[in-house]
Amino acid sequence: MRQWFALCLALLFTTSAAARGYAIQHLEPANWWVGMQHDRVELLVHGPGIAALQPRVDWPGVAVADVARVENANYLFVTLAIAADAKPGRFPIDFMEGERIAVRHDWALEAREAGSAQRHGFDASDAIYLVTPDRFANADPGNDSAPGMQEHGNRADPNGRHGGDITGLRQHLDYIAGLGFTQIWPTPLLENNQPAYSYHGYAITDLYRTDPRFGSNEDYRALSREARAHGLGLIMDVVLNHVGSQHWWLRDPPTRDWFNHPYFDRADRFVETNHRRTTVQDPHAAPADKALFTDGWFVKAMPDLNQRNPHLARYLIQNTLWWIEYAGLSGIREDTFGYADADFLSAWGAAVLAEYPDFAMVGEEWSANPAIVAHWQRGKVNPDGHVPHMPSMMDFPLHIALRTALLQPEGGDYGWVGLYEMLANDFLYPDPDRLVVFAENHDTPRALAHFNGDIALWKLAIAWIATVRGTPQFYYGSEVLLQGPRERNDGELRADMPGGWAGDARDAFTGTGLTDAQRDAQDYVRALFNWRKRTPVVQHGKLQHFAPENGVYVYFRYDGKDTVMVALNRNPEATPLALDRLGDFIGKDSRARDALTGKAVTLGTALSLPGTSATILEIE
C-alpha cells in the first residue's frame, strides 16, 4: 500500500511539473568525484522557468551550499559542497516548488581512479603526434553522418567531413607508438554541430559531449585507456576563448554578458578581434585596442566568451577538470590562449595545477616574438603583474625561425644565424626546456610544401625538432610525405592519411603502395624518434650551440655522462667541419657512433658532412 501511495505521489509531482512547463534541459556537469581539491561544484541548470524552484539534495556528504539566480529565469547555478568522506553513488537532486518536487534529476558522485591526482603529464622525454581526427582513419563509416548533426560526411569536399573517427585512432595506436611517439594530440573531438566546416573541431557546440561523428564519450575514454596500454598519453585540445555559433547558449544565454559583443545585442554586428597580441603587455597600447584583441570574435562562426563572468569562469574551469578526470588525460593543449581574459587564464591554470600538480599543459600564442610568448609561461615575473600558471607554450618563435632559416640564402644574418639567435632568446623564458617545438601543425602549410618539396630540407627540420631542447611535436602524415599546398589552405593541408579509408591505393600503416621516397621518409622518422625515446641526454641534457659557419650549424646535448653532437649542413655539397673548434666536447681520442645507424664514425681533425643533411653522433 505504501509503495502504491509513493507511486501515485510521484505521478502527481510529474504531472504538476509538466503542467507548469518545468523541465531540465541541461544540467552540467552531470557528475563529479569524491576526493577532489575542487570540492564545491557549481552546476549550471537550464530549463524553462527553473529559477522559480529551490534545489534539494539528500545524500551523505553532499549539501547545497549556494543557489544563484541570474537575469534569465531559465537558469539556476547550484553549488554542491562535497565532503571528503562523501559516499559515491547515484542520487536525485530535487527541484522544489514549495513543498512539492517539481522536477527530479539524477546526479552521480564517483570514486576517483587510484593515483589520479598524481598523474604525470608530458615533458621533454616525450614526443607528440598531432592528428586531425577527421582526416586520419575512418574505421566506422556508419557514423560519417549522425542524427541531429547538420553537416554530413562528404569526402569529396576538402573542407567537409571525411569520416575519420575515434575508432580509427584506436586501431592505429600501435602504428603511432611504433614511430617512436609517446603522446597523441587530436584536435578537438567535442561536438561541433555547425552547418559547415565542422570537421576541425574548434567551434564547439557542447562542451561535455564527444561529437557523435567521432564516437561517444565512452569511446573517448577507451581511446585514452588503450593509448596508455601502448605507452601513449592523450592530450586534449581545449578551447576557452570561444564556442561555435550553434551552441545552445546562443539561443538562450544565461546573461547579457555571457558573450563579448553578442549577436543578440545587434544581429547585424560582427566585431572581429584585431589579433594585436602585443597589446596585452604593451605599456603604450590604447585600452580600446587591448579590449578588441581579447573581446573581439575570432571568426563569425566562433562567438567570443566573456570569462570575466564568474559563473562562466567556474563552468570552464570545471569543464577542464571534468575531462582530465573522466578521460584520464596526460595533458592539455589550450587553443588561442592569449585571446582569453588574462586574469581568468591565471585562475584556470592555477585550478588545474592545484588538482593535478604534475600535470602538463601547453598554450598557443602564435607570435614570432619570444617576449610575447614568455609572458604566459609559469614562473615569469611580468611588469604588468600578471601571474601565469601555464607550464609550457608552443614555441612559435623557433617554429617561424626554423622555416625562415631553411629558405634563406646562407650568410651574414641570414640562414642558420636567424635560428641560432632565436634560440639564444631562451633567457626570456622561465623554463625553455618545457616548450613544445615543431616544424608544422594543423594551421600551417606542411613543412614539405613550405620547402617546395625538398625532402632533404624537410629532414633537416625534423632532425632539429627531435634534437633541440623542449618537447617535439610532429604532424600526422608527414612521415609519408603528405605535402599539400604551399599557401595555407586548411582543408588541403589537413589531407587524408593514406590507408585510413577502405580502398586507398596507398597505406601508410602497412606500407602497401608507398613510393621509395615515402618509405625512406617513414623509416627516417621511425629511426629518429625511437632513438630519441631511448636517449635521455637528448631529452633532458643541456644544450650548447656554436655560431653557424659556412652553412653548418653545430650543437651538443650533454649531461656529464653522455654527449650527442648534431651538425646540420645546409650546403647541397659535402662540407668539411673542422673539429678543433669543438674541443670542449671532442678530444683527439674521442670516438663517435652514428646515432641512427650505429656505425662507427672516424673523427680525426675534420668531419665530412654529406650535403643537405643532419649528422647526429653519439660521442664516446
Q: Are strands 361-363 and 206-210 parallel, antiparallel or unpaired?
A: unpaired
- 238 φ/ψ sector (left φ>0, alpha ψ -120 to 50, else beta): beta
Burial tier of 283 (Cβ tally within 10 Å: 0-12, 13-18, 19+): exposed
3-class SS of residue 163: coil
Distance between CA atoms of residues 195 and 176, nearest Å:
32
Within 240-350, strands assigned E span 331-335
> In the annotation, is 364 catalytic?
yes
Catalytic residue among 151, 191, 295, 335: 335
Please enumerate in sequence order all residues whose Cβ is within 8 A of that of 489, keeping only pairs 6 or more positions apart, or say none: 158
Helix (H) / strand (E) element for 520: namely helix 516-533
Tell me which residue of 420, 412, 514 sits closest to 468, measured CA to CA: 420
The number of angstroms, rounded, from the C-alpha of 161 to the middle of its chain's C-alpha atoms is: 20
Tell me which residue of 81, 84, 76 sits closest to 65, measured CA to CA: 81
For the CA atoms of 199, 200, 203, 209, the dihedral, rounded to the nearest 10 degrees, stands at 70
Tell me which residue of 354, 311, 326 sits closest to 43, measured CA to CA: 311
What's the number of CA atoms in the CB half-sphere (13 Å) around residue 264? 13
Of the chain, the end-to-end C-alpha distance in Å amounts to: 87
Please enumerate in sequence order all residues whose Cβ is within 8 A of that of 566, keeping only pairs 6 or more positions apart, or say none: 463, 467, 554, 555, 556, 557, 614, 615, 616, 617
Distance between CA atoms of residues 507 and 113, nearest Å:
38
Catalytic residue among 134, 364, 365, 618: 364
Looking at the chain, how many residues does it have? 620
Return the amino acid letter for 280.
Answer: V
Distance between CA atoms of residues 468 and 542, nearest Å:
10
Distance between CA atoms of residues 616 and 469, nearest Å:
15
Looking at the DSSP bridge assignments, the partners of residue 100 are 97
Tell me which residue of 319, 313, 270, 318 sits closest to 295, measured CA to CA: 270
> In the annotation, is 343 catalytic?
no
CB-CB contact of 337 with 376 (8 Å): yes
Instruction: Name the one residue in this structure whose C-alpha cell is 586574469.
Output: 343
Distance between CA atoms of residues 271 and 522, nearest Å:
45
Distance between CA atoms of residues 321 and 356, nearest Å:
9
Distance between CA atoms of residues 260 and 114, nearest Å:
40
Distances (CA, A) of 298 to 193, 336, 401: 18, 9, 25
Distances (CA, A) of 588 to 331, 414, 456, 544, 603: 45, 33, 31, 20, 8
Tell me which residue of 316, 341, 201 sits closest to 260, measured CA to CA: 341
Q: What are the start-end ranges of the H helices in 61-112?
A: none
Other residues' Cβ atoms within 10 Å of the Cβ of residue 494: 26
C-alpha cell at 302: 566562433
3-class SS of residue 446: coil
Residues belonging to the active site: 335, 364
